[in-house]
Amino acid sequence: MTSPFNALKTAVIEATKADPTISAICGARVYEEVPRDARGDASDAQAPFVYLDHFVWRDIEAGCGPLYAVTLRLNAVATEFGRKQSRDLAEAIAVAFNRKTLQLAGGHAMTIFKAVAGGDVPAVSTVKECFVELRTELADANGYPLP
């Protein structure tokens, strides 16, 4: 049985990889977390890339089945001089998801995404990051467990 949270994460990663504007910038380098090498070092990751950062949910009492308010953040990472590439990638993410829904595995359903925030991720390193924060409501197709 697929959890609604895993179904949403998988759908977001697949949709990010499939978007032509995003893939024109970073190819298929879209990850559930910052990619790391065998040593656990993220410094070898080839930029630009996108990764799923924060994923937070809270229960909404609706009485008709499990429903969750979900906030997730996608980070756009680049190493080009300046922040243009990371900002272009973040903008492409916002356009790709804002006011859109995704087909979720396991019969789970979601409301439209809303791009609610975005901006630069402060960093001292040469990596430039921007983020896009998305919100949706997620309905669990599994229903409430029987007592």
Cα distance between residue 45 and residue 36, in whole Å = 7
- In the chain, the percentage of residues whose pLDDT exceeds 90 is 63
Q: Give me the DSSP letters along 12-68.
A: HHHHHHH-HHHHHHHTT-EESS----TTS-STTPPSSEEEEEEEEEEEE--SSS-EE
pLDDT greater than 90 at residue 112: yes
Domain ranges of the chain: 4-34+47-139
Looking at the whole model, is its pTM more than 0.75? Answer: yes
Q: In this structure, what token pair is assigned to residue 130?
A: 């921007």
* CATH for 4-34+47-139, options being 3.40.50.300, 3.30.2000.30, 3.20.20.150, 3.40.50.450: 3.30.2000.30
